Structure 1
Amino acid sequence: MISNNQAARILCVDDEPNILSSLKRLLRPLGYELIMATSGKEGLEVLNKTEIDLVISDMRMPEMNGAEFLQHVRELWPDTTRLLLTGYSDINSIIDAINQGQIYRYITKPWDENEILLIVSQAIERQQLKRDKIRLEALTQKQNEELRQLNSNLEIKVQERTTDLQRTHEQLLNANEQLKNNFLTSIKVFASVVELRGGQLAGRSRRVADLSRRIARQLKLDGRLIQEIFIAALLADIGKLSLSDDLLRIPRQLMNAQQLGEFARHIAKAEQILMPLVDLQDAVKMIRSQHERYDGRGFPHKLIAQEIPIGARIISLAGDFDGLQHGAIQQKNLATEEAIFRIKQSAGGAYDPEVVAAFEIVISGKAEEFITQEIDFRSLQAGMVLAQDLVTRDGLLILPADFVIEEKIVERLRVFGLSQKSPLIAKIRRKS
């Protein structure tokens, strides 16, 4: 593990010497301690002898591929963060690595140097946050024990210890909040795997997730539930990775019975992919019911009205609204106004009337949204709150919506902004 005075130790595993050389050239100037291995077996031998903070492994290696190697790392050294190097075409390999090795992130080859530096930096920070969390929890436990042992006559000392405990508790809450932000960022990156297929899926996850979140806010749902609905909408199409390109090109209304049956399997596939992620099981329930109808004529279980989770009712409408405009439901791409009319026509049939009413308010621009302000990416300051995802022009997620900008990343954001050919615009919440 990293001490306060020790550089992060990174193990790079690849059977291609030129890849290892490139990683060494890229990462060494940042002060990391680098160890290179040319196979999964050699990497495991290194881990047996040396404490490693971060493992970067290639997918395609002889004898033991990256998914198998990272699975061993997860089982034997679960606290070591795991990254996967893979090609754009290795979708099944990415899924295997997520299921078996529970990787933190994946990096496509050939990589963008700014992207890999950002991902490695985030991974190391995540490790530090985990250690801070453990340290703070241990400190809290120790202070609680000391508090119990204090004599009732030492009132002043009790007050001092209580103050220290409150301060530690606040630090622990801050560390947990950072972990939540990192988790959401990972989910958004995971969802972007779907968009690698292109076609109707390109950009769909973020559009549907954003609309679902806005409808949920209009319905004044609990903040935690709104977050779960947003995550479920991001991952709603993850099972479609298992479908053929030919099937994905067919609008749903033109599918025959056999094609509809094959299409419906994407729900079960999504459950299978997300099963290892315990924190996502509420989202999985919403994903499972995204094709149910309010009138009970949907699939797979023909649930009716309130039997369908509210998140699924929202995602169903948001997904169909997007599909009507992008050819996923019928052959013709509908204009926005016509798509809105179709949704309203199906209130009480396909969709929950209350959800339709909230959708109408949101889509009309009359919803009580946050007041936002657009600023130059390089002008972000500590304390600002992002109103929407901060992404590069290539679609790379940098920071998620609702993220509170911290002092320690302001300079890195400024440097990254200067490296871009033209200014990037961030949208932040404006103080009322």
Structure 2
Amino acid sequence: MSEFQENAQVRVLFVDDEENILKSLSRLFMDEEFEVITASSAKEGLQLLMVMENVGVVVSDQRMPDVTGVQFLEQVRETVPDALRIMLTGYADLSATVDAINRGGACRYITKPWNDGELVQIIRDTVNRYLLVQENRHLTETVNRQNEELKEWNTNLKQRVLEQTTEIRKKHESLQQVNEQLQASFKGTVTAFSRLIELGGKKQHAEKVASLAQNMAQALGLPADEVETIHNAALLHDIGELGISDVILKKDPIEMTEEERKVYMLHSVRGQTAIDSIDGLREAGVFIRHHHEHFDGSGFPDGLAGEAIPLGARIIAMADFLDRTMQQLHGATAIDFGMRSVAAELGKRLDPALYESLRKFAKYVYYVREQGLRTLREAELSPIELTVGQVLSRDMYSGTGLLLLNRGVRLDAIRIDAIRRYYRLDPPPHGVFVEM
């Protein structure tokens, strides 16, 4: 038996104008689980239905003095539509039976005199039918209510998911912005170090070596993070020279004394040591240590040869050799001579497999970038006159000779703010030169 059936107290109402019949029916059903109530008239029966709950079955005699059973069941149908209705008649009256079914909504009829056993079974079945209908309604209402709750929960869940997704996206964008700022700050720090290294007189050496090395690494199809490491190492490859006397640095190695050469040969190891404590530069430090190794094993500091030399170090070594050669040359044909000098060292100091990747970009760095802008018209502007989109026509140095920006750089709001800040901190004796 269901929870609904256990909690329900079903009543069966018998209506008949003969008292002895009502008493007989009460005795017949006294041991049943349902409660039997009786009324001796249609009026009394309707009054009981108005005050009593859970009357599930109404059994009415057809012939009563005030109204017919059909009329009574019709009123019952309007008063308690859920109650199942049965006609009790002593006449073989087909029209009354049809009316009881059509007008009164009777589920069946019983003729007098009845068989007690059959009557009891009919009433039991009808009560169970009523209980099943009520249980089904109860379950349907429960399911509908739970569906509404589930729908509301899903709606709220969807909203919460959307809110959380939005919050996660905002946090991701914020972290990404912070990461980009950190990367920009990191790159700015590396660039600043490289410019400090060049205060000794090798202006743009690190920048050109880095540009060559980066393009070579990209041409070789290396991953972006490795290209970035090689670029950083190239910018800082001479950081170990800081602290070495200018007297030594201005000499060609073959002109140095034995003691001077020993001091100079330590600079690549010192360079690695100087940046080893910075996680983001530790791998770059390896390339810095070995950029003076020779392909034939005659270099320093460890005498490595061939592919035992890290690829990044071999790339930087070739770019460094070309730029040191180019610093002593002038004219449009200088790059051809510089490349021939590189070719003469292939298999000795330099890796032959890297020559083609260098050749592709050498003219761009030393001819297009240096010669191509000289015919452009330019204007000298104060920092306050600069606007976004303008292109520098000359390298920009601080008042104390620190390279700030290279010519050809397109200005954006961040660079303009930086220029104005530099002009307050370390102003040069002239304005900013831009293309017209």
Instruction: Name the CA distance, whole Å, in 2 between partners of 1:163 and 1:389.
Output: 46
Q: Which amino acid aligns with 2:177?
A: N
Aligned match of 1:349: 348
Q: Secondary structure at the match of 1:299?
A: coil
Q: Secondary structure at the match of 1:242?
A: coil
**How far off is 1:388 after superposition?**
12
Instruction: Name the CA distance, whole Å, in 2 between partners of 1:386 and 1:286.
Output: 33
Contact kept? 1:274, 1:280, Cα under 8 Å: yes
TM value normalised by structure 2: 0.51
Q: Which amino acid aligns with 2:243?
A: S
Q: Which amino acid aligns with 1:271?
A: Q
Q: Secondary structure at the match of 2:200?
A: coil
Q: Which amino acid aligns with 1:290?
A: H
RMSD, aligned CA:
4.2
Aligned match of 2:169: 166
Contact kept? 1:185, 1:399, Cα under 8 Å: no
Task: Please list, as runs of the form range in 1=range in 2, the aligned pairs for 1:100-139 lying within 5 A after superposition.
Answer: none
Instruction: Name the CA distance, whole Å, in 1 between partners of 2:181 and 2:240.
Output: 29
**How has the CA–CA distance of structure 1 residues 388 and 281 changed in structure 2, closer, same or farther, with 3 Å as cutoff?**
farther
Q: Which runs of 5+ in 1 are unaligned?
A: 1-149, 329-333, 428-432
Contact kept? 1:188, 1:234, Cα under 8 Å: yes
Instruction: Name the CA distance, whole Å, in 1 between partners of 2:407 and 2:221.
Output: 19
**How far off is 1:336 after superposition?**
3.4
Aligned match of 1:191: 194
**How has the CA–CA distance of structure 1 residues 279 and 322 changed in structure 2, closer, same or farther, with 3 Å as cutoff?**
same
Task: Please list, as runs of the form range in 1=range in 2, the aligned pairs for 1:194-343 lying within 5 A after superposition.
Answer: 194-198=197-201, 201-326=202-327, 335-343=334-342
Instruction: Name the CA distance, whole Å, in 2 between partners of 1:344 and 1:336.
Output: 12
Q: Secondary structure at the match of 1:229?
A: helix
**How has the CA–CA distance of structure 1 residues 417 and 229 changed in structure 2, closer, same or farther, with 3 Å as cutoff?**
same
Q: Secondary structure at the match of 1:196?
A: helix
Instruction: Name the CA distance, whole Å, in 2 between partners of 1:352 and 1:279.
Output: 27
**How has the CA–CA distance of structure 1 residues 172 and 399 changed in structure 2, closer, same or farther, with 3 Å as cutoff?**
farther
**How has the CA–CA distance of structure 1 residues 413 and 192 changed in structure 2, closer, same or farther, with 3 Å as cutoff?**
closer
Contact kept? 1:191, 1:235, Cα under 8 Å: yes
Task: Please list, as runs of the form range in 1=range in 2, the aligned pairs for 1:90-105 lying within 5 A after superposition.
Answer: none
Instruction: Name the CA distance, whole Å, in 2 between partners of 1:208 and 1:408.
Output: 26
**How has the CA–CA distance of structure 1 residues 302 and 151 changed in structure 2, closer, same or farther, with 3 Å as cutoff?**
farther
**How far off is 1:362 after superposition?**
0.9
Aligned match of 2:362: 363
Contact kept? 1:239, 1:266, Cα under 8 Å: yes
Q: Which amino acid aligns with 2:200?
A: R
Instruction: Name the CA distance, whole Å, in 1 between partners of 2:352 and 2:266.
Output: 28
**How far off is 1:380 after superposition?**
4.7
**How far off is 1:294 after superposition?**
1.8
Q: Which amino acid aligns with 1:283?
A: A
Q: Which runs of 5+ in 2 are unaligned?
A: 1-152
TM value normalised by structure 1: 0.52
Aligned match of 1:101: none
Deviation digits for residues 339-377 of structure 1 (CA, Å, limit 9, x no counterpart): 21010122232212232111111124499x99x999988
**How far off is 1:165 after superposition?**
1.0
Q: How many residues align?
A: 267
Q: Secondary structure at the match of 1:187?
A: helix
Q: Secondary structure at the match of 1:424?
A: strand
Q: Secondary structure at the match of 1:425?
A: strand
Instruction: Name the CA distance, whole Å, in 2 between partners of 1:228 and 1:353.
Output: 22
**How far off is 1:287 after superposition?**
0.4
Instruction: Name the CA distance, whole Å, in 2 between partners of 1:240 and 1:170.
Output: 41
**How has the CA–CA distance of structure 1 residues 177 and 388 changed in structure 2, closer, same or farther, with 3 Å as cutoff?**
farther
Q: Which moved more, 1:249-258 or 1:346-355?
A: 249-258
**How far off is 1:163 after superposition?**
2.2
Instruction: Name the CA distance, whole Å, in 1 between partners of 2:209 and 2:283.
Output: 18
Instruction: Name the CA distance, whole Å, in 2 between partners of 1:192 and 1:411.
Output: 19
Q: Secondary structure at the match of 2:347?
A: coil
